[in-house]
């Protein structure tokens, strides 16, 4: 990772237009392959069903739990596949993408239509611009101090390595989907309500089948709840690592930010094993995806190579190591938007000095 002044570098990137950055991406990177798309659809589905077979066929609790873990990992990879479909990267037909994407989001209990709307327009439109993009938006020390004791506990849970799943569960799934209010437009309300109904029906049917054929409550836990929890952990951490690092700034002023800054400078490339890259459909090579969402996941590595030749000086990339990831979580707790500095809770307490409210609570 770099040690140069992030304000200087991001200001330089701001002068670059995203359209110009896209010009260095080879046209072959945009070519869809139906065979590759369906192949990985089959791989993800097979892994998920393998886990379900273990849950439903075994009387051993350990085997059932193993099956739930396997299906949970597959739920995350299926979600990543559906994520590409929602961007229009995999199919020319949006209807085909929605049908297959909706099916693949069912085990995660996510709503394809709602998720697509928020992710495509909010996150990709305004990545790292905190007034609009609220995913993993950090608080300032002053904002954190103004919270109630209970709200501080929730914030700490979200920004902890071991419990980060709570962020996606609370902010995205619960508040952003289940409680989402589409307004008074009846067509819009019906459009999003139907998506909720599909997810609800899956949860009911899957739970009923697990209860009857997989051992009652244990079956529901292993076949429905555990995959859902594993998914939330995977996705929460993946999205966190996409845009959070001690060297990566966040912005609260529009004149400091641009789409290119969010896509090129405030996104990461996290190098991991070849197996992990394939399993996660190259989602950790995230810069090309933010530069242009139309690139299918199987062409992301080629796009990254082309972008690095021209704009590599602005890349934030590192190799995945558990210890290093834990250090990122430890450092990136609160944020000073004016000076573009991440800080721990302890550092923030020293910055604020003696206060009536205890910052460390």
pLDDT tens string 79-138:
999 999 999 999 999 999 999 999 999 999 999 988 888 888 889 999 999 999 989 999
Is position 135 within any domain?
A: yes
Please check whether residue 176 is in contact with residue 195, taking contact to mean a CB–CB distance below 8 angstroms: no
Q: Is the pTM of this model over 0.85?
A: yes
Is position 20 within any domain?
A: yes
Is position 359 within any domain?
A: no
Is position 204 within any domain?
A: yes
Two structure tokens written together for 312: 């590599």
Is position 10 within any domain?
A: yes
Q: Residue 361 — pLDDT band, cuts 50, 70, 90?
A: low
Count of residues for the chain? 361
Residue 7 confidence (pLDDT): 61
Residue 231 confidence (pLDDT): 98
Report CA-CA distances (Å) from 48 to 64, 136, 212, 338, 342: 13, 28, 20, 46, 38
Q: How many domains does the chain have?
A: 1
- Supply the DSSP symbol for 260: H
Is position 217 within any domain?
A: yes
Q: Read off the pLDDT of each residue in 239-257 and give the average, rounded to a whole number.
A: 95
Residue 358 confidence (pLDDT): 52
Other CB atoms within 10 Å distance of the CB of residue 197: 11
More confident residue, 261 or 1: 261
> Residue 342: enclosing H or E segment and its boundaries?
strand 341-343
Residue 3 confidence (pLDDT): 47
Mean of all residue pLDDT scores within the chain: 92
Residue 245: Cβ-neighbour burial (10 angstroms; 0-12, 13-18, 19+): buried
Is position 360 within any domain?
A: no
Two structure tokens written together for 179: 């409680």
With b for 16 or more beta-carbon neighbours within 10 A and e for fewer, the 88-115 pattern comes to bbbbeeeeebbebbbbbbbbbbbbbbbb
Q: Residue 27 — pLDDT band, cuts 50, 70, 90?
A: very high
pLDDT digits (tens, 9 = 90+) for 149-202: 999 999 999 999 999 999 999 999 999 888 877 667 777 777 788 888 999 999
Is position 101 within any domain?
A: yes
Q: Read off the pLDDT of each residue in 265-274 and give the average, rounded to a whole number.
A: 96
H runs (alpha helix) in 106-185: 112-117, 124-126, 141-146, 149-158, 165-167
Distance of CA 231 to the CA centre of its chain: 11
Q: Which domain holds residue 139?
A: 6-352
pLDDT of residue 356 exceeding 60: no
In sequence order, what are the residues at sequence separation of 6 or more whose Cβ sits closer than 8 angstroms to the Cβ of residue 90?
Answer: 32, 37, 81, 84, 97, 296
Please check whether residue 317 is in contact with residue 268, taking contact to mean a CB–CB distance below 8 angstroms: yes
């Amino acid at each position: 990772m770099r040690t140069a002044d992030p304000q200087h570098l991001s200001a330089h990137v701001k002068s670059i237009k995203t359209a110009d950055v896209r010009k260095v991406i080879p046209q072959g990177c945009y070519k869809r392959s139906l065979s590759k798309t369906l192949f990985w659809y089959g791989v993800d589905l097979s892994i998920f069903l393998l886990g379900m077979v273990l849950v439903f066929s075994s009387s051993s609790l350990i085997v059932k739990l193993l099956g739930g873990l396997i299906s949970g990992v597959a739920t995350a990879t299926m979600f990543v596949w559906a994520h590409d479909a929602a961007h229009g990267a995999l199919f020319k037909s949006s209807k085909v993408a929605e049908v297959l994407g909706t099916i693949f989001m069912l085990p995660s209990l996510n709503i394809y239509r709602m998720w697509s709307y928020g992710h495509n327009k909010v996150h990709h439109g305004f990545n790292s611009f905190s007034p609009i993009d609220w995913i993993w938006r950090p608080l300032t020390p002053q904002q954190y101090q103004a919270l109630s004791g209970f709200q501080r506990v929730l914030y700490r849970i979200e920004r902890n390595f071991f419990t980060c799943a709570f962020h996606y569960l609370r902010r995205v799934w619960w508040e952003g989907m289940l409680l989402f209010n589409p307004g008074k437009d009846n067509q819009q309300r019906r459009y999003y309500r139907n998506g909720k109904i599909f997810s609800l029906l899956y949860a009911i049917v899957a739970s009923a089948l697990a209860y009857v054929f997989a051992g009652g409550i244990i079956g529901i836990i292993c076949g429905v709840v555990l995959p859902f929890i594993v998914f939330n952990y995977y996705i929460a951490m993946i999205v966190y690592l996409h845009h959070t690092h001690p060297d990566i700034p966040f912005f609260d002023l529009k004149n400091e930010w641009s789409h290119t800054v969010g896509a090129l400078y405030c996104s990461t490339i996290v190098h991991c094993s070849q197996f992990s890259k394939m399993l996660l459909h190259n989602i950790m090579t995230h810069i090309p995806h933010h530069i242009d969402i139309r690139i299918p996941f199987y062409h992301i590595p080629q796009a990254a190579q082309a972008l690095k030749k021209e704009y590599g000086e602005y890349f934030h990339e590192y190799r995945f190591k558990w210890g290093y990831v834990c250090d990122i979580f430890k450092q990136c707790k609160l944020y000073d938007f004016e000076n573009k500095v991440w800080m721990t809770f302890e550092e923030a307490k020293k910055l604020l000095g003696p206060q009536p409210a205890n910052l460390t609570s």
